[in-house]
A and B are shown apart, each in its own frame.
Chain A
Amino acid sequence: MANAATSGVLDREFLPLRARLIDLAAALDRIDRASGLPAADPRREQIAHGLAVLNSPEPNRAEAVLAAFSLPYDPEWRAKTPRG
Chain B
Amino acid sequence: MDFFDPHIHVASRTTDDLALMAKMGCVVVGEPAFWMGYDRGGVNSFHDYFRQLTEWEPKRCAAAGIEHYAWMGLNAKEAENVGFAREVIAELPAFLERPNVLGVGEIGLHKCTRNEVTTLLGLIDAALASSQMMLFHTPHLEDKYKGTRMILDVLADDRRVDPARVCIDHCEEHTIRLALESGYWAGVTLYPTTKATPERTADMVEMYGPERLLVNSSADWGPSNPLAVPEFIATMRRRGHPDSLIRRLVYENPLAWFRQSEHFRFAPARAT
Q: Would A60 and B173 be within 8 Å (CB), given that A4-B241, A5-B240 are in contact?
A: yes
Task: Enumerate A1-31 residues with CB–CB distance to B below 8 Å.
Answer: 1-5, 8, 12
Q: Is the interface of B mostly helix, strand, loop or mixed?
A: helix
B146 near A70: Cβ-Cβ < 8 Å: yes
Note all chain B residues with C-beta closer than 8 A to A60.
Answer: 173
Note all chain B residues with C-beta closer than 8 A to A66.
Answer: 144-145, 172-174
A36 in the interface (beta carbon within 8 A): no
Note all chain A residues with C-beta closer than 8 A to B17.
Answer: none
B153 near A77: Cβ-Cβ < 8 Å: yes
Note all chain B residues with C-beta closer than 8 A to A75.
Answer: 153
Identify the closest chain A residue to B242 (Cβ).
A4
Q: A58 CA to B190 CA in the complex, in Å? A: 26
B106 in the interface (beta carbon within 8 A): no
How many residues of A are counted as interface, with CB atoms below 8 angstroms from the partner's CB atoms?
25
State how many angstroms separate the Cβ of A46 from the closest Cβ of chain B: 9
State how many angstroms separate the Cβ of B113 from the closest Cβ of chain A: 5
B123 in the interface (beta carbon within 8 A): no
B173 near A69: Cβ-Cβ < 8 Å: no
B80 in the interface (beta carbon within 8 A): yes
B240 near A72: Cβ-Cβ < 8 Å: no
Identify the closest chain A residue to B176 (Cβ).
A63
B11 in the interface (beta carbon within 8 A): no
Sort chain B's interface into a size bin: 20 to 34
Q: Is the interface of A mostly helix, strand, loop or mixed?
A: loop
A69 near B240: Cβ-Cβ < 8 Å: no
A81 near B144: Cβ-Cβ < 8 Å: no
A71 in the interface (beta carbon within 8 A): yes
Chain A 65-84, CB within 8 Å of chain B: the 1/0 string? Answer: 01101111111011001111
Cβ contact of B239, chosen from A4, A69, A83, cutoff 8 A = A4
A51 in the interface (beta carbon within 8 A): no
Note all chain A residues with C-beta closer than 8 A to B145.
Answer: 66-67, 70-71, 73
B192 in the interface (beta carbon within 8 A): no
Q: A78 CA to B172 CA in the complex, in Å? A: 24
B200 near A62: Cβ-Cβ < 8 Å: yes
Listed in ascending order, the chain A residues whose CB lies under 8 Å from chain B are: 1-5, 8, 12, 60, 62-63, 66-67, 69-75, 77-78, 81-84
Listed A/B pairs (5) with beta-carbon separation below 8 Å: A70-B146, A70-B174, A81-B114, A84-B80, A84-B113
Listed in ascending order, the chain B residues whose CB lies under 8 Å from chain A are: 80, 82, 112-115, 117, 141-146, 149-150, 153, 172-174, 200, 203, 205-210, 238-242
